[in-house]
Amino acid sequence: MNRTTLSLIAVATALAAVTGFAAVSAPDPVDSTATAKTPARLPVERSSLLCPAPSTSELAETVYTSFTPAGTTGAGTGGAAELAPSAAPLTDTDPADDEKTTDEDKAKDDKAKDDEAKDDEAQAPAADGADAKAKPFLALKEPGKPVSGTKKGADAPALVGAATGPLAPGWTAQQTTTVTAGDSRGLLGMTCTAPGTDFWFPGASTDKSRQDYVHLTNPDDTAAVADIALFGKEGTLKSDTGEGIPVPARSSVPVLLSTLTGEAEPNVTVHVSTRTGRVGAVVNATEEKTGGDWLAASADAAPRAVLPGIPGDATSVRLVVFAPGEDDAELKVQLAGKSGTIVPSSAAEPLNVKSGMTASLDLGDLTKGEAGAVRIGPAEGGRETPVVAALRVVRGKGTDQEVAFIPATGPVTERATVADNRAKGSTLTLTAPDKSAKVKVTASAGSGGGEQVVKTYTVKGGTTLAVTPPVPAGLKGSYALTVEPESGGPVHAARALAVTQDGVPMFTVQTLPDDRGMVSVPATKEDLSVLK
């Protein structure tokens, strides 16, 4: 009997065994008239966050705050939430230079060290990748109470973090930097980002008066490769160096936008995508006369967008919009203020946005003393064209000005949280673009002590409600705010943090998208009929 015959007999025997098992163990026929079960809503079991290197100024002081809301059931016990320095330091050099080796002796020494390290790792107990790389800078121990840490100077590294178990659902971290002098002076705040593969940043610039860096942070143990594309008012800006940017494992790479193109434009849309791996991406923007702040990614492209959190004393507001699809957009621009929704005089005509081109509209001091939100959507008779958008907002006058950026953000569907709120200087804005809504706001315990406080607000349809948020009883340190819609229409939220320094009204605005702490898990059951 040859080998082919034996192989056929073996395969036939295996199939018979599988078929026999399926026949014995097959479940009863499925009732086609049965109603499908609604997917269960369960808390996530793991969350990841990335915080870029905060500043290159020696005068910088950065406060990090980590927080997970309390009250999520079914998330298990134990767990951890830690932020640790990335393994590789932040560098302004070309990432490709890291791969060049010119010293043969050094290479041999490095190989010997690698061999020793491998031997040490073989003798050490196994650890979970990222968590084993560096000692945590900030570790959260329990839900409902934030923890904070401070780093001074220019050597603060990028941070990579993960949360597991009951600390994962809704985990958030805030990075707030104060720079008292220099071009980057101001209050720079951002919510640390989750890693992804696709980001849009309308509102960036390659103008000579700006220095905008895209920070790419890789949380994983394998290298990532990213592409950066720039779009101006006439379309794609020519670039020979924006493709195939390597981001080494567990490292952060800043890329100066003006080095990617020779075209200087005041309003640019940046598209970051990855060929391999994933990164956290955010833009650090610095202006000559108005300081700087972080520009977070816009919400996913959609025909309608809400940009909440414009301070009532804003002296200049600029809207920047980009249409990433194949169709042009004709948009109606409105302001949702304290009393209702209006079309400001500066936006009397629809805003035309050509496909693949960046459009901008200067709205001036449109809030007129009342906090508000910009709403954009199809003009009358216009088509439903997805767009991404952001605002550049300025407070103050003359030499005492400060800038911040507000990206379009989605509604809070279940829950959203922002950390690093303080006893003074925090403002919460809630915008209900359509129907009225009832919202529960929880002020957590303080990082150094205090008791949580809960307050409920009603936001009328088509308006923006700006409030000084509740402060925990006996507050010590900073605290977190959690927003949960209870009834009514969708709500978009933002938090502004303001500090006056030497007459400059420093401020930063963070939007509050849904924290996605809960996910839908479809009901499943064993079905061995697939083996027939």
Q: Is 103 a member of any domain?
A: no
Residues 512, 442: one domain?
yes
d(CA 426, CA 431): 17
d(CA 393, CA 506): 12
Tokens of 213: 């860096």
Residues 265, 212: one domain?
yes
Q: Please report where in the chains the tokens 């065994």 appear, as a residue.
A: 17
Among 350, 367, 391, the domain-final residue is 391
Among 339, 367, 391, the domain-final residue is 391
Strand pairing class (235-236; 305-310)? unpaired
Instruction: For the beta carbon of residue 111, count every other beta carbon within 10 angstroms.
Output: 10
Residue 37: what pLDDT? 65
Is pLDDT above 90 for 418? yes
Residues 259, 214: one domain?
yes
Q: What's at 89, amino acid-wise?
A: P
The pLDDT mean for the chain works out to 85
Residues 277, 371: one domain?
no
Asked whether 220 and 249 are in contact (CB, 8 A), the reply is: yes
Residues 235, 287: one domain?
yes
Asked whether 151 and 62 are in contact (CB, 8 A), the reply is: yes
Q: Is 397 a member of any domain?
A: no
C-alpha closest to that of 83 among 107, 54, 111: 54
Q: Tell me the C-alpha to C-alpha distance, in Å, between residue 487 and each of 190, 437, 438, 491.
A: 29, 6, 5, 10
Q: Is 102 a member of any domain?
A: no
Domain span including residue 181:
42-92+132-300+407-519
Instruction: For the beta carbon of residue 338, count every other beta carbon within 10 angstroms.
Output: 15
Is pLDDT above 60 for 282? yes
Pick 379 or 3 by higher pLDDT: 379
**DSSP type of residue 181:** S
Asked whether 475 and 450 are in contact (CB, 8 A), the reply is: yes
Residues 328, 473: one domain?
no
Residues 463, 411: one domain?
yes
Is pLDDT above 80 for 19? no
Q: What's at 514, amino acid-wise?
A: D
Is pLDDT above 70 for 12? no
Number of domains within the chain: 2
For the segment 180-211, what is each residue's pLDDT rounded down to a tens digit? Answer: 988 788 999 999 999 999 999 999 999 999 99
| Range scoring the smallest mean pLDDT among 133-142, 208-217, 277-286 | 133-142
Q: Is 21 a member of any domain?
A: no
| Range scoring the smallest mean pLDDT among 78-92, 415-429, 478-492 | 78-92
**How large is the average pLDDT for residues 342-361?**
96
Residues 150, 295: one domain?
yes
Q: Is residue 268 exposed (0-12), middle (13-18) or buried (19+ Cβ within 10 Å)?
A: buried
For the segment 56-68, what is each residue's pLDDT rounded down to a tens digit? Answer: 999 999 999 999 9
Is pLDDT above 80 for 9? no
d(CA 176, CA 356): 33
Q: Is 139 a member of any domain?
A: yes
Residues 289, 327: one domain?
no
Q: Is 263 a member of any domain?
A: yes
Residues 202, 266: one domain?
yes
Among 338, 357, 391, the domain-final residue is 391
Residues 65, 197: one domain?
yes
d(CA 295, CA 145): 27
Q: Is 146 a member of any domain?
A: yes
Instruction: Report helix, strand or coil for 44.
Output: coil
Residue environment code for 274-284, b if the CB has 16+ CB neighbours within 10 A, otherwise e: beebbbbbbbb
Asked whether 306 and 240 are in contact (CB, 8 A), the reply is: no
Residue 525: what pLDDT? 61
**How large is the average pLDDT for residues 33-44?**
68
Q: State the CATH number of the domain containing residue 335.
A: 2.60.290.11
Instruction: For the beta carbon of residue 108, count every other beta carbon within 10 angstroms.
Output: 10
Query: Can you give the C-alpha Rg of the chain in angstroms?
Result: 26
Residues 204, 316: one domain?
no
C-alpha closest to that of 135 among 116, 167, 165, 157: 157
Q: Is 493 a member of any domain?
A: yes
